[in-house]
Amino acid sequence: MPAPKLPSTPTLRVWDLPTRLYHWIQVVLVALALGLGFFAPEWLLNQHVVIGFALVGLILFRLVWGFFGSYYSRFSSFVPTPGRLRAHFSGILNKQSAPAGGHELGHNPVGALMVFGLIFVLGAITITGIVTLGGVENWGPLAGFVDFSTGDRARAVHLALAYVLVVMIVAHIAGVFAESQRSRTSLVRAMVTGDKELPKGRTFGQPDGAKKGAALVSLAGLGGLAGVLFYLGVQVPASGFIQMAEMDDFKSECSDCHELYHPSLLPEESWTLMMAGLEDHFGEDASLSQDTTLAIGTYLERYASEAWDSEAANRLRVVDPEKPMQISASPFWKENHAQIPEEVFKTRPVRGTGNCKACHGDAESGRFDDSKISIPEPTPERES
């Protein structure tokens, strides 16, 4: 720790430029991530994810800067020890104006608790986000390693932590304004300019600067490691999907009247039932020779939803007991498509809830990725 030397300046550069940039970039990214996470439609998930990865980079930077940044940015300068917390609270109770000591020019101990808390919660949010992405969406560096149910549980934690984060942000802003009042300095402005006015009659030294070389090397090392892990992770095939044999009969016979539905979209029992009653298939006669019926039936049962761990297979496995053969009657399907205006399904080019391909660019693969969703503009029918 540097010895106080130069009392000549009335202000002191407390927040170095990287710390200020980190702070405000984080404000923007967290606001975007929360906004997209809570309010955006499913097909903007990719944007949410990209921001999440940017936040991972930002957190890595802050961890490095907490060791090699300039004095007030270093974790060691604001460890919220019980002693410091006690002194801080007794200062508040005795209505002393802050700052009381050298470390209060930087983060006060309560602010420090918030800094560590925010880094921890944000870190946990990004980790559970990546686990969710891998398990539920079968995407990202963990797609090959996390199963659906683990991903779904991570999703619940991810969401709960997002609420915790919102509460912490509100507390953080309230704390900043309260402390600005108490210390009669604008902490917001200080985080913009980096400078804080020095209390009269006290002397503070110019704090020692950052170890930029060490910071750069560590950041490059950590970033490189993260990049390599990411790269290796995405090379592993997603665990939700299996290799499926091709079958010509299925492809030709079952795509005459509608698109070819992926076998993973219904459970085994539903396919068995459907293949046993092709002569009355949703009011149409779709009957085939006995051999072909048997072959297609065996194929569909083999690749039914039970064989997959994708999001679509897991969600659509639960069918409507009244209409066990209709994918678009299942509770998940109805819930997920309830927001879509009725007329979209009634007019061209969709025409019917069973026309998955009209909105899901990857329906044929059974993936149903969020990024492949797009609802086409309804075009009025022109009867001639």
Site string for ligand HEC, 298-327 (x = CB under 6 A): -------------xx--x----------xx
Distance CA 288, CA 292 (A): 6
**285: left (phi > 0), else alpha (psi -120 to 50), else beta?**
beta
Instruction: Quote the CA–CA distance of 74 and 69 in Å, as a whole number.
Output: 6
Does 247 bind ligand HEC (CB under 6 A)? Our answer is no
d(CA 225, CA 283): 58
> Does 280 engage in binding with ligand HEC (CB under 6 A)?
no
Please report whether residue 296 would count as binding ligand HEC according to CB under 6 A: yes
What CA–CA distance (Å, rounded) separates 76 from 66? 8
Q: x-or-dash pattern for ligand HEC, window 102-141, by CB under 6 A?
A: ----------------------------------------
Would you state the structure tokens that stand for residue 93, as one six-digit string?
């109770």
Q: Based on CB atoms, which residue is closest to ligand HEC, 7 or 376? A: 376
Nearest to 271 by CA among 327, 223, 230, 217: 327
Both tokens of 368, joined, read 């149903």
Q: Least separation, in Å, of the C-beta of 164 and ligand HEC?
A: 24
Cβ atoms of 49 and 128 closer than 8 Å: no
Two tokens at 272? 């068995």
Nearer to ligand HEC, 248 or 384 (CB): 248
- Residue 279 interacts with ligand HEC (CB under 6 A)? no
Tell me which residues in 21-80 interact with ligand HEC (CB under 6 A): 41-42
- Residue 179 vs 311, nearer CB to ligand HEC: 311
For ligand HEC, the closer CB: 14 or 358: 358
Contacting range for ligand HEC; rule: CB under 6 A; set: 17-25, 170-178, 228-236, 351-359: 351-359
Residue 143 touching ligand HEC (CB under 6 A)? no
- Taking the complex as a whole, the smallest distance from the CB of residue 273 to ligand HEC amounts, in Å, to 11
Contacts with ligand HEC in 250-269 (CB under 6 A)?
Answer: 253-254, 256-258, 261, 265-266
Write the single-letter amino acid at 249: D
Q: Which of 340, 343, 349, 379 lies at the binding interface for ligand HEC (CB under 6 A)?
A: 340
Nearer to ligand HEC, 42 or 208 (CB): 42
The alpha carbon of 384 is separated from its chain's Cα centroid by a whole number of angstroms, namely 49
User: Could you check whether the bond before residue 10 is cis, i.e. omega within 30 degrees of 0?
Assistant: no
d(C-alpha 72, C-alpha 295), whole Å: 72
Rule CB under 6 A: is residue 344 a binding residue for ligand HEC? yes
- Which of residues 25, 50, 176, 286 is near ligand HEC by CB under 6 A? 286
Give me the sign of the Cα torsion angle 314, 320, 325, 328.
negative
Q: Nearest-CA neighbor of 377 among 350, 352, 354, 353? A: 350
Contacts 24+ apart (CB under 8 A), 158-162: 158/125, 158/128, 158/129, 158/131, 158/132, 161/121, 161/124, 161/125, 161/128, 162/34, 162/37, 162/38, 162/125
Contact positions vs ligand HEC (CB under 6 A): 41-42, 253-254, 256-258, 261, 265-266, 281-282, 284, 286, 296, 311-312, 315, 326-328, 336-337, 340, 344, 350, 352-356, 358-360, 368, 370, 373, 375
